[in-house]
Amino acid sequence: MDKLQKLINYQFKDITLLKQALTHRSVGKNNNERLEFLGDSVLGAVVSRELYRRFPGIAEGKLSRFKSYVVRGQTLSLIAADLKLSNLLVLGSGELKSGGHNRKSIQADAVEAILGAIFLESGFDTVNTVILNLFKEYIEGINPNDTLKDFKTQLQEHLQKFGQMLPQYQLIKTTGKDHNAKFTVSCLLKDQSIQVQQQAKSIKMAEQMCAEILLQRLKL
């Protein structure tokens, strides 16, 4: 955990907070769900404020797309990989056997939980600094002239271009408590006989994640 704290440039006063942030709900009590809920909100606030500051002439809709790009699951999982979180995660036996350490969604959740733990221990200004350092390349990589179409729009346009059937999204299940629910969504491409499932904190986000995976497959 010392290496992790060096990588995020933050030293925990209460190391049990960091341990909790790395503990998956499959373990039982004292897991990271509540910290993840907190971290998700703080991350959104920090990134929103930074984008508002950087792009004074950009309308709300485009700022929302920029924010979604920065805080998306793929970005979080890339940061988790940089922080080498997979070897630090604490999982229940079932999740451990199913390869939970390598599950990107679990790693992404842990990143948010760590941010929540930092906010809880040291407040907004400190976590603001940590977030801007961790997400620096993703924020600075935004081109204000880029439309940044969301993945569902890109997928739909790609299919329409070739005269193919549009994707079919379906909510499969909802898990977790109301304050931190997880939604599993499937997306079916009938013409290609391809179906994928993704889990996220909102139905819209899960749909976007499905669309992103399908875009990658179709463009190979």
User: Which of the 8 DSSP states describes residue 197?
Assistant: E
Q: Identify whether the C-beta of residue 47 lies closer than 8 Å to the C-beta of residue 131.
A: yes
Q: What is the largest CA-CA distance in the chain?
A: 58
150 given a catalytic annotation: no
Question: Quick one: pLDDT at residue 220?
Answer: 47
2 is catalytic: no
Which parts of 46-192 are beta strand (E)? 168-175, 182-189
Catalytic residue (one of 50, 112, 150, 207): 112
d(CA 152, CA 209): 9
Please, where in the chain does CATH 3.30.160.20 lie? 151-218
Q: List every span in the chain annotated with CATH 1.10.1520.10.
A: 2-140
Q: What global pTM score does this model have?
A: 0.78
Write the pLDDT tens digit of every residue in 130-171: 999 999 999 999 888 876 678 898 899 889 988 999 999 999
Mean pLDDT of 162-181: 88
Residue 57: burial class (beta carbons within 10 Å; 0-12, 13-18, 19+): exposed
Q: Which of 33, 36, 40, 109 is catalytic?
A: 40
Cα–chain-centroid distance for residue 95? Answer: 19
Spell out the CATH class of 151-218.
alpha beta
- Percent of the chain scoring above 70 in pLDDT: 99
Domain 2-140 listed as CATH 1.10.1520.10: yes
